[in-house]
Chain A
Amino acid sequence: MNRAYNTFLDICGGVSAILIAFCALAVSLDVILRFFGESLMWVFEVTELLLLYVTMLALPWLARERGHICVDVLVNNLSPANAARLDVCTNMAVAAICLLITWWGGLSTVDAYSRNLTNDGLVQYSLWISRIAIPFGFGLAAIEYLRLSAQSARKGVSK
């Protein structure tokens, strides 16, 4: 179970990387085609949308990798036990914030879906497609930060 979940997070990170590469290729293609008088109008909007997906897919994976950077001046000067305690608290708080964003992001996704909203750019797509990325990313991040809290709690006990 644990392993399957970790693999899933790795896939999220991997897809994020593929999307960045796709953006590079798509924008290059657009520039080259424009040179010959054609223009791929969708590239601009799709790239913007993918930037959101890149961020949201990377979010839970980075959480597991402890890649969301923090100021470690105080933490580095605490005893291991106290550092673990503090880590439990901050990770719980982060998880709570993630849950809140997941909830409100979920509501705005449902809203966009039920009212059939589209974006207001040059190329149109249903808005729920972009909005759903936020509850997805933050929902998984909430789980991840709860797991990190549990990890630190165990570490704190064993010290």
Chain B
Amino acid sequence: ARAEPVVLRAITPWQVEYDMSQALLMFRDMVNERLAGKVEVRYLGGPEIADPGNQFDAMKNGVVDMVLTAAAYYRSEVPAAAAVMFTSKSPTDLRKSGYADIMRELHAQAGVEYLANTAGGKKYRLYFKTPIENPDFSGKSIRVSPVYLPLVRALGGTPVNVAPNELYTALERGVVQGYGWPETGIRELGLQEQTKYVLDTPFYSLDTALLMNKSVYDGLPDDVKEELQKISVEFESKVEEKIGALLQDENEHLRKEGLNFIRFSPEDEALFLKTAYEAGWNDFLAQNKTLIDANPGLVERLEVAGN
């Protein structure tokens, strides 16, 4: 009789329709087809299984085996994972340049197998309810997460902390006039109803990744591990194709809903991007001071492989 396949339980912090949850389903189907009989990836669900901020722990503690999540949700465990935000290459190019290997090392230290970068070329941007003409945010209250905090501060805005599920009401009532969000996903919270302007100057790269419990990974037979790595590389480029089409689609949708795509003057746009990168990167360096001091050359490796 044949042995039962190893079941890998997987979750994401987002509801099932979100593109990143769909990416996990794509990975599941690839593995279940290519490693049929040996490994079975089983999707358990989203935030109803574990709080987004606890999903990384849930994987480490063996509640699940695999999680497709964002570095922002496990900043406490692997703060260096946020480095990927400050890369300019696409995930497939990062794989070629050896950046993925650095990420794998950093995650291995935390007891996690880094399988794939699932950003697919997606970036972040700012959304506004009131018009904005130049990168001077003074007098504007902007809802931020740690991703946008250094930028909004540097541009003179008032950063505000609002729970995601209260953001709609906060915008509706005018408590905040803008917010930062990835290029997709505002429709998941209905925010397009309370947004008028999209600042069409995307910045940073998304920090999403597919991770696996390291001891579960290490326990797999070598041929399975090898195939899993191969699938992960293919998965990365497949996600990239998907996201490219999705971004087009998203912008069309938002335009149809009456949102205006705006841009600053070329000089202002350059200033905006420069500020974004400098503020973000300096914040990253400060956050990871201990790690960087202990690993001379790490910063240079990240900068060279990432850009």
Whole-angstrom distance between the Cβ of A36 and the nearest chain B Cβ: 10
Q: Are B146 and A34 in contact (CB under 8 A)?
A: no
User: Which residue of the partner chain A has the closest CB to B161?
Assistant: A44
Q: Could you tell me if A122 and B146 are in contact, using CB atoms closer than 8 angstroms?
A: yes
A122 touches B73 (CB 8 A): no
Binary B-proximity of A74-114 (CB < 8 A = 1, otherwise 0) = 00000000000000000000000000000000000000000
Query: Contact at A120–B76, with CB atoms within 8 Å?
Result: yes
- In the complex the two chains form, is A122's CB within 8 Å of B158's CB? no
- Supposing A34-B141, A122-B145 touch, asked if A117 and B159 sit within 8 A by C-beta, the answer is no
CB closest residue in chain A, given B160: A39
Binary interface encoding of chain B residues 140-181 relative to chain A, with 1 for a CB under 8 A from any of its CBs, else 0: 010011100100000000111100000000000000000000
Chain A's nearest CB lies how many Å from the CB of B34?
A: 34
Q: Are A122 and B159 in contact (CB under 8 A)?
A: yes
Which A residue sits closest to B175, measured CB to CB? A34
Measured CA separation A120–B138 after assembly (Å):
26
Interface of B is mostly: mixed
Cross-interface CB contact of A118 among B76, B138, B159, B161, cutoff 8 Å: B76
Q: Are B53 and A39 in contact (CB under 8 A)?
A: no
Contact indicator B74/A120 (Cβ below 8 Å): yes
Instruction: Contacts A37-B139, A122-B146 given; indicate if A117 touches B158 (C-beta within 8 A).
Output: no
Is B72's beta carbon under 8 Å from chain A?
A: yes
Shortest B176–chain A CB gap in Å is: 10
Establish whether residues B159 and A38, one from each chain, have CB atoms under 8 Å apart when the complex forms: no
CB contact between A117 and one of B72, B73, B76, B290 (< 8 Å): that residue: B76
Rounded to whole angstroms, the CA-CA distance of A41 and B149 in the bound complex is: 10
Answer whether residue A127 sits at the interface, using C-beta atoms and an 8 A cutoff: yes
Contacts of A34 in B (CB 8 A): 141, 158, 160
- Most B CB contacts (10 A, CB to CB) among A41, A44, A119 go to A41
Known: A34-B141, A122-B144, A122-B149. Is A41-B159 also a contact (CB below 8 A)?
Answer: yes
A120 touches which one: B53, B139, B149 (CB < 8 A)?
B53
Chain B residues with CB under 8 A of A119: 76
A44–B141 CA distance with the chains assembled, in angstroms: 15
CB pair B159 A39 closer than 8 Å: yes
- Determine whether B77 belongs to the interface, using a CB cutoff of 8 Å to chain A: yes
Please encode chain B, from 49 to 91, with 1 for each CB lying within 8 Å of some chain A CB and 0 for all others.
Answer: 0000100000000000000000011111101000000000000
A127–B53 CA distance with the chains assembled, in angstroms: 13
**Cross-chain contact A41 with B161 (CB below 8 angstroms):** yes
Report chain A residues within 8 Å CB of B138. Answer: 37
Given A120-B53, A120-B72, A122-B144, also A38-B149 (CB < 8 A):
no
Nearest chain A CB to B238 CB, angstrom units: 29
The answer for the CA separation of A34 and B144 in the assembled complex, in Å, is 14
| In the complex, residue of chain B having the shortest beta-carbon distance to the beta carbon of A38 | B158
Chain B residues lying within 8 Å of A37, measured Cβ to Cβ, are 138-139, 158
Residues on A with C-beta less than 8 A from B160 are 34, 39
CB contacts (< 8 Å) of A39 on chain B: these are 141, 158-160
* In the bound complex, CA of A69 to CA of B76 (Å): 36
CA distance A117 to B57 in the complex (A): 12
> Restricting to B104-152, which residues have a CB under 8 Å from any CB of A?
138-139, 141, 144-146, 149
| Alpha-carbon distance between A120 and B160 when the two chains are bound, in angstroms | 16
Given contacts A37-B139, A127-B76, contact A121 B146 (CB under 8 A): yes
Which A21-49 residues have a C-beta within 8 angstroms of B? 34, 37-39, 41, 43-45
CB contacts (< 8 Å) of B72 on chain A: these are: 120
CB of A93, distance to nearest CB on chain B (Å): 24
CA distance in complex: A122, B158 (Å): 13
* CA A117 to CA B53, docked complex, whole Å: 13
Task: List A contacts of B75 (CB < 8 A).
Answer: 120
A-B contact list, 10 entries, CB within 8 Å: A34-B160, A37-B138, A43-B161, A44-B161, A45-B161, A117-B77, A121-B146, A122-B144, A122-B145, A122-B146
Write the residues of chain B forming the contact surface with A, with a CB cutoff of 8 angstroms. Answer: 53, 72-77, 79, 138-139, 141, 144-146, 149, 158-161, 290
Report A's interface with B, CB cutoff 8 A: 34, 37-39, 41, 43-45, 116-122, 127
Given contacts A39-B159, A45-B161, A120-B146, 4 further A-B contacts (CB under 8 A): A34-B141, A37-B138, A38-B158, A122-B159
